[in-house]
Structure 1
């Protein structure tokens, strides 16, 4: 049965059938020593995607990136930002998703339309969405930024033709040494009468965190220079984690994006035999952190020559890549800020 943590000794209850979008639901499975999170995105994802005229394939990929970033960023117990960024050689060569704790998210994708159309033209009729092909090869960086007073933490993993799920698994194996499994799904909802479609995304993350020491065995990373045919040691996985993986493997994409299926009912379907406790949900809000002051501080950090090169028609126009908002400045007001020395470098970094 599903239990809630609101009281010191909560009584078991059934899963809440109310499906609410733009929420993260943390949970714990005592019988398997597994904790995790479910995220369901609706209007917040639409708001993030609405700022640019992205093709459908790019919207799907960016939706996956947003769901993954919210899953990971919402675990932060501090005020700060979690930033996911890819740089690759694929048709979508840049993704940036910025999650500011406790709930604000914004995102941007850069793509080559001609390459994207050529790739899609070469696919068989009815071929599915392939995030790995869109990304290509490069790297994915995950950064925790707590401001100027604390050093940034960054983990980087290679992207070698796989998707974001595979990259997340590699990140946790390589950087965190925490057995982790992630599932992501994105869907477009078509509306009758030619009305604009809407987008939904869902994600599920489980992690094996046993209380008994020694149950998590570090995975031996491939040495890279072993001769071909060398038998590498295999790490035996804990039975509880194997069971959790088996259950998560039954999740279908449609369950993660079903607007009528609540997160609690989904968790009950998966883990009711082991018992699952859910905790207070957390909101997700599409919100850009740009502002006139922050953009001005960014410009003030440029050299006079750099600022001069940006002047057109006696003004400098700056457009936020995330939300599309444009800020106009007179050249002399930027110079005044620079000479005054009142720039806020933390704001500039976030602008």
Structure 2
């Protein structure tokens, strides 16, 4: 654990998570900065620019949420909607591995780009966002579902915490395409994403109040007085709202520097950086087990030129099997 009285600037880091805490405001959170890991995910599929930005936001949000797991499990982010981007799946395996992919209608995306309809809400359309915590085969899954009805991923995350965990939460996400210098000395474009999530988690029972939760329907003739936000949480929310996109994506702006800018007057503690890696969970053995679960007739329909071929949607790895090995 580190204190900013010793260091302010920090070291700009890519593909890392930095937990932090502001004791006097009862606020805890984490930042994430993604560089090479996100770049590999997006370049592998050569997504159109608006989809790359959307998927980058989803990856940053998933890492922020998934890195809070206190056990070896998985956090799965999945959208299903009627917009040009039909589905997004981001899979975070604790403590540090992430993979992601998107399905989309190429013609609809091209038309949306031509018409300037490239915001995340316009690309997703209407549908739902599911966030699933998988604790392993011997434990039940937990899933929270929020509607996608023209809201941003930040707004969807806020609703998820309000209805699923009932914890006041503030999220900021940003994605940018930056110019870097490759190993050959030539300039190249690279993707970066950043995010910050902070939550109000008071330990003092006098401060634990349902500030932002709907009290429900009151009886006829009864007026329910609104409950004001706690001053501490109001201050935190206001400070996080001042974050500019470039502060989350600029390779030269470290997480420590950003947190110092936000909370230096109150005092902020940071903990050890946690790495993030782009890593797929697929393997020849897992794909073979998946194929074994299909009925014989279905496997026969998969045969082409005497082989069954499978390509992973996440990492694009290709696997080839002989139909006879499943007999």
Q: Offset of 1:323 from its aligned partner? A: 0.5
Alpha-carbon distance between aligned partners in 2 of 1:102 and 1:220, rounded to the nearest angstrom? 31
Match of 1:147 in 2: 136
Q: Offset of 1:214 from its aligned partner? A: 4.6
Match of 2:220 in 1: none
The 1:83/1:233 distance shift into structure 2, 3 A limit, reads farther
Moved more, 175-184 or 213-222: 213-222
CA deviation profile, 1:84-139 (whole Å, cap 9, x unmatched):
0000111111000000111000000111121112122222xxx8x51111111100
TM-score (norm 1): 0.87
- For the 8 Å contact 1:81–1:100, the answer to whether it is kept is yes
For the aligned residue pairs, the C-alpha RMSD in angstroms reads 2.2
- How many residues of Structure 1 are paired with residues of Structure 2 in the alignment? 321
Structural mapping, 1:134-213, within 5 Å: 134-191=123-180, 195-213=187-205
Alpha-carbon distance between aligned partners in 2 of 1:214 and 1:135, rounded to the nearest angstrom? 41
Structural mapping, 1:10-89, within 5 Å: 12-89=5-82
Structural mapping, 1:201-350, within 5 Å: 201-218=193-210, 219-221=212-214, 234-335=226-327
Match of 1:108 in 2: 101
Alpha-carbon distance between aligned partners in 2 of 1:200 and 1:300, rounded to the nearest angstrom? 39
Q: Offset of 1:17 from its aligned partner? A: 2.9
Alpha-carbon distance between aligned partners in 2 of 1:111 and 1:316, rounded to the nearest angstrom? 25
User: Unpaired runs of 5+ in structure 1?
Assistant: 225-230, 336-351
Match of 2:89 in 1: 96
Moved more, 188-197 or 201-210: 188-197
Q: Offset of 1:234 from its aligned partner? A: 3.2
Q: Offset of 1:16 from its aligned partner? A: 4.2
- For the 8 Å contact 1:133–1:162, the answer to whether it is kept is no
Alpha-carbon distance between aligned partners in 1 of 2:78 and 2:227, rounded to the nearest angstrom? 31
Alpha-carbon distance between aligned partners in 2 of 1:206 and 1:171, rounded to the nearest angstrom? 14
Q: Offset of 1:309 from its aligned partner? A: 1.4
3-state SS in 1 of match to 2:280: coil
- For the 8 Å contact 2:162–2:213, the answer to whether it is kept is no
3-state SS in 1 of match to 2:261: helix
The 1:232/1:321 distance shift into structure 2, 3 A limit, reads farther
Q: Offset of 1:304 from its aligned partner? A: 1.1
CA deviation profile, 1:147-197 (whole Å, cap 9, x unmatched):
111111111111111111000000000100000000000000135898431
Moved more, 49-58 or 67-76: 49-58
Alpha-carbon distance between aligned partners in 1 of 2:325 and 2:76, rounded to the nearest angstrom? 31
Q: List structure 1 segments (4+ residues) > 4 angstroms apart after TM superposition.
A: 191-195
Alpha-carbon distance between aligned partners in 2 of 1:130 and 1:57, rounded to the nearest angstrom? 8
User: Unpaired runs of 5+ in structure 2?
Assistant: 218-222
